[in-house]
Amino acid sequence: MKKKERAKIIFKELNKLYPTPPIPLYHKNAFTLLVAVVLSAQSTDKKVNELTKDLFKVADTPDKMAKLGIPKIFEYIKQLGLSNQKSKNVYKLSNLLIQKYNNQVPSSFAELESLPGVGHKTASVIMSQIFNIPSFPVDTHIHRLSQRWGLTKGKNVRQTEDDLKKIFPISEWNKLHLQIIFYGREFCTARGCDGTKCLMCRTLYPNRKQKFICKKP
């Protein structure tokens, strides 16, 4: 089966399973989604959502977040990995949004990636989900599934992102990244599927007998 044939199967199945996938991170506006994505690095969305519900009750704007200060921000998120650095980044990016962007989240990759704690993947999420600009955020989960499904041989998430953009229509990028995440969490998990067990893997590679070893980004 060629890559384009696999892509068609994936596209059809994901649209059937998740026709309108929601954003998995709890948020109230562009700023809170930005903060939530920053906090989600090396943490589960479930845990981030648990903690940000209280945080966003008191700080759902850059001004309110900056007024909290680093120690109080830390108290809200201290259960997350890298919480020390994340609390500093959230405080610093809040101040930058106040000083440079009139309390607004900027709408370009360059501006977003200049903010503390915001890398390309985080910027891609904001561009796609807030500004509806075609982007394909790729995290380690999407990287892993894309390898299992024969969509990329990329050694890192940026190479995988480039490969996925070449395969799928630009009009579908924003939705597809969410669909792949949801499928991975429900069916093709890191421990539950080794490339031979879930329906997608078995459909795409019916003759695969051995465990598929993913290249870590």
Give the CATH fold of the 30-129 domain. Endonuclease III; domain 1 (1.10.340)
**Cα–Cα distance measured from residue 180 to residue 158, given in angstroms and rounded to the nearest whole number:** 16
CB-CB contact of 154 with 162 (8 Å)? yes
pTM: 0.93
Q: In this predicted model, what pLDDT tens digit does every residue of 48-91 receive, in sequence order? A: 999 999 999 999 999 999 999 999 999 999 999 999 999 999 99
**Cα–Cα distance measured from residue 92 to residue 89, given in angstroms and rounded to the nearest whole number:** 5
pLDDT band at residue 186, thresholds of 50, 70 and 90? very high
Q: In this predicted model, what pLDDT tens digit does every residue of 110-126 receive, in sequence order? A: 999 999 999 999 999 99
Domain 3-21+136-204 has CATH 1.20.1250.20: no
Q: What pLDDT is stored for residue 108 in this prediction?
A: 97
Q: In this predicted model, what pLDDT tens digit does every residue of 5-44 receive, in sequence order? A: 999 999 999 999 999 999 999 999 999 999 999 999 989 9
Q: Which single residue is written with the structure tokens 């059809």?
A: 12
CATH 1.10.1670.10 domain locations along the chain: 3-21+136-204
CATH 1.10.340.30 domain locations along the chain: 30-129
Q: Which single residue is written with the structure tokens 């959230």?
A: 90
Q: What pLDDT is stored for residue 140 in this prediction?
A: 87
